A and B are shown apart, each in its own frame.
Chain A
Amino acid sequence: MRISLFITCYNDTLFPATGQAVVRLLERLGHSIDFPLEQTCCGQMHYNTGYQQEAMPLMRRFVRIFREAEAVCIPSSSCMAMIRDHYPKMAAEQSDPGLRSEVEELLPRVYELSELLVNRLGVEDVGAWFPHRVTYHASCHSQRSLHLGDLPLRLLRKVRGIDLVDLPNIDRCCGFGGTFAVKMGDVSAAMLAEKMRDVENTAAEVVTAVDNSCLMHIFGGLHRARAGVRVAHLAEVLASTQDDGAQEAGA
């Protein structure tokens, strides 16, 4: 299948390794990747901070770039949630019936990475090898907007060599929340402290998730605390194979 990648603005700029992993993984599974260079941002930051008008052209841009795609893959649960939860409403507010139907037609073809793998491509065992103690952080959007349930865990359980441990209080927010982390920095820090305690209690070497924004937050705290725990996006765990040898994910 030809899969169009919407990498998201922050993955593009801050976490290129995740995008590279998605490409490696999907190509290994026999698919071809298309990366339209016109893409920028889904508009989530603007929309959620109250700048809804500013998000509008970004929605139109996304729709214009991807409307012909066979399937769109987004390795970010919060951007996926932005698109799935808010685009239809945003489109409905415009007096543009064409836009509304374009959004409606496009949405069923847009997938978060683990949805794409399990629900659309029908794979759980992607042939990965990742010999580390790993815990999975369920991002809020993945649980309560996308309702991913155990999709990411089903993929992780099939990874060779992995020592997968449950994260206690998995349903609790890490305190990132986009601009929340700076606007309400102290409350966010208190939430992060609890999440870090939970992570450290698992004795995991690696925290994984379907969202680099939570991971950036959690890792930011762990790194400051010299906790000796690293993070890797789910794509990076799933992309790594025995052949990668030393240069595996998230390094």
Chain B
Amino acid sequence: MTIRVGESAEAPPFQKAALPLLEDPQLRKNVRHATDVIQRKRGLVVAEQTDWQELRNAASAIKAHTLRHLDHYLVQFERACTAGGGQVHWAADADEANRIIAGLVKQYGGNEVIKIKTMTSDETGLNEALERDGIRAHETDLAELIIQLGRDRPSHIVVPALHKNRSQVREIFRERMHLPELGDQPEDLTAAARHYLREKFLNVKIGVCGANFLVAETGSVCIVESEGNGRMCLTLPDVLISLAGIEKVIPLFQDLEVFLQLLPRSATGERMNPYNSLWTGVHPGDGPKHFHVVLLDNGRTGILADAEARQTLQCIRCAACLNACPVYRQTGGHAYGSSYSGPIGAIVTPQLLNMRQGQTLPYASSLCGACYEVCPVRINIPEVLIHLRGRVVREQKSTLDPEALAMKAAAAIFTSRTRFEAAQRLGRLGQAPMVSKGWMRNLPGMLGNWTRVRDLRALPPQTFREWWKAREKAAGKGSHA
């Protein structure tokens, strides 16, 4: 089995990948603007929902329950979807999912598909795989279209092209749609996309989508979207193929009342997004004649097996954690080298890859907790990050790694008062050559990362405990150990 998450295999470490992005003022401005706008809107509609915390608690409980009984609910979904005329396939990894979908497209005699934005297909690299099989995939979500035509990578899980501004989008459309006169107002650009895609909607016979929710009880699939491109792809083609991670299942139709309140407010700051579609298998006389669901594992069962990190699979991909994250705010999504960026990307990517790649991602966080605070399904991301750091240390780091050695040494110092006090004195002596006027401005090694932009106060001549001991002595009490 080969597990892949987008282009993660070739991704450089986070701190390296972040550098060119940090040096791109336009990108940083675009990211700041977009995340600020969504956050402000989210804040308003969340404040309006007086039972927000109760909804979060219910959502978290429903998801945790579902994961504890995932086999049960997947089988139930399969049965109900099949009864409704759908066909369910199972894919162990990205390649198997891509193979199944390419096979279906060929079976129905197609050589092109229209697609609704699905991060899961970015994860499996579906478009490239279809291309290799001679099948063209047309992205129909405006942002995904910008990414596809610009030969770019998504940088956000809800607004994948948020790192591009209007004039950058205009350049892409001008060139790739052959529209030399195109204006740069968002209206112009949107109209160009409407026109460009309408013909595809009316003619392409096979649609590919993801899934926001799979309802086990009814076998229904739910897609939440804004533009209507989703509804086009879901209803106009003869064949519809949905690629969904196995964690997308929810038990009851009634559970939608929780998620349909949380997801739009968290994702786009709307009370409800313009369109939610649900369907169950095939509906004679209305929509596709053939419906297939591909249930994807690709590392998810590995996450399920880690009880402390299992909550990662509760994610409904709303991206609220990205918008709230101060690290994402500086770098945008490309630094994460994966289909999934931001805090959720930092925990889900290395786990999907069984901790063998993406090992710097759990460290791409200051543990500030903003992600946990906004997460509509209450994933304690900082806790999972810390847990994954532990797995990196235990499973991946050599015991001779300089950091591991330093940490071991520090632990030995902290477990003894004598050693601790000796270390305090030694530190004061050792720093002497580097101190100037009470400050250090140029430290060697890892600490050089600190002094590149910050000064560091030198250790003071007296520690607190030395002061305390002197004071006690003066008061005639002597030190008590």
Contacts and interface: CB of A to CB of B under 8 A. Distances in A.
Interface of A: 7, 9, 11-20, 23, 35, 37-41, 43, 45-55, 57-58, 61, 140-141, 143-145, 171-173, 175-192, 216-217, 219-221, 223-224
B366 A45 contact: no
B368 A177 contact: yes
B415 A57 contact: yes
B410 interface: yes
Given A140-B367, A140-B368, A186 B18 contact: yes
Nearest to B396: A50
B480 A37 contact: yes
A144 B324 CA distance: 13
B53 interface: no
Interface stretch (B156-164, B174-182, B369-377): B369-377
A12 B424 contact: yes
A9 B363 contact: no
Interface in B350-379: 362-370, 372-373
A120 B88 CA distance: 60
Contacts of B459: 13-14
A16 B391 CA distance: 35
Contacts of A192: 453-454
B408 to A, nearest CB: 7
Interface residues of B, number: 67
Contact of A51 (B330, B370, B411): B411
A128 B480 CA distance: 31
Contacts of A181: 366, 449-450
A177 B464 contact: no
**B368, B441, B459 interface centre (most CB from chain A within 10 Å):** B368
Given A61-B414, A187-B15, A216-B456, 10 more contacts: A9-B420, A15-B460, A52-B390, A140-B370, A172-B370, A184-B364, A185-B453, A216-B457, A220-B450, A220-B457
Interface of B: 14-15, 18-19, 22, 326-327, 330-331, 362-370, 372-373, 386, 388-394, 403-404, 407-408, 410-411, 413-417, 420, 424, 427, 439, 441, 446-447, 449-450, 452-457, 459-460, 462-469, 479-481
A188 to B, nearest CB: 7
Contacts of B455: 220, 223-224
B367 A178 contact: yes
B386 A47 contact: yes
Contacts of A51: 390, 393, 404, 407, 411
A12 B428 CA distance: 13
A12 B414 CA distance: 13
Contact of A46 (B370, B411, B460): B411
Contacts, number: 193
Nearest to A223: B455
A20 B470 CA distance: 12
Nearest to B480: A37
A20 to B, nearest CB: 6
Nearest to B469: A37
14 contacts: A7-B464, A13-B427, A15-B460, A16-B464, A17-B460, A18-B464, A19-B467, A50-B388, A51-B390, A140-B366, A144-B369, A180-B363, A181-B450, A183-B363
Nearest to A188: B366
Q: B interface, by DSSP: helix, strand, loop or mixed?
A: helix
A39 B439 CA distance: 27
Nearest to A190: B330
A248 B457 CA distance: 19
Contacts of A11: 464
A182 B366 contact: no
Contacts of B410: 45-46, 54
Given A40-B420, A144-B372, A224-B441, A177 B367 contact: yes
Given A38-B481, A50-B392, A189-B452, A144 B363 contact: no
Closest 5 CB pairs of A and B: A177-B366, A220-B454, A50-B389, A185-B449, A144-B369
B420 A176 contact: no
Contacts of B391: 50
Contacts of A35: 465, 468
A43 B456 CA distance: 22
Contacts of A177: 365-368
Contacts of B407: 46, 49, 51, 54
A97 B408 CA distance: 27
Interface centre among A13, A48, A171, A181 (most CB of B within 10 A): A13
A19 B453 CA distance: 28
B364 A187 contact: yes
A108 to B, nearest CB: 22
B222 to A, nearest CB: 32
Contact of A37 (B362, B467, B481): B481
Contact of B454 (A38, A54, A190, A221): A221
A61 B412 CA distance: 13
A144 B369 CA distance: 6
Contacts of A191: 326-327, 330, 366
Contacts of B14: 184
Contacts of A13: 424, 427, 459, 463-464
B446 A182 contact: yes
A54 B362 CA distance: 19
A49 B365 CA distance: 11
Contacts of A43: 414
Nearest to A52: B390
Contacts of B330: 187, 190-191
A50 B367 CA distance: 13
A40 B15 contact: no
A45 B408 CA distance: 12
Nearest to A17: B460
Contacts of A7: 464-465
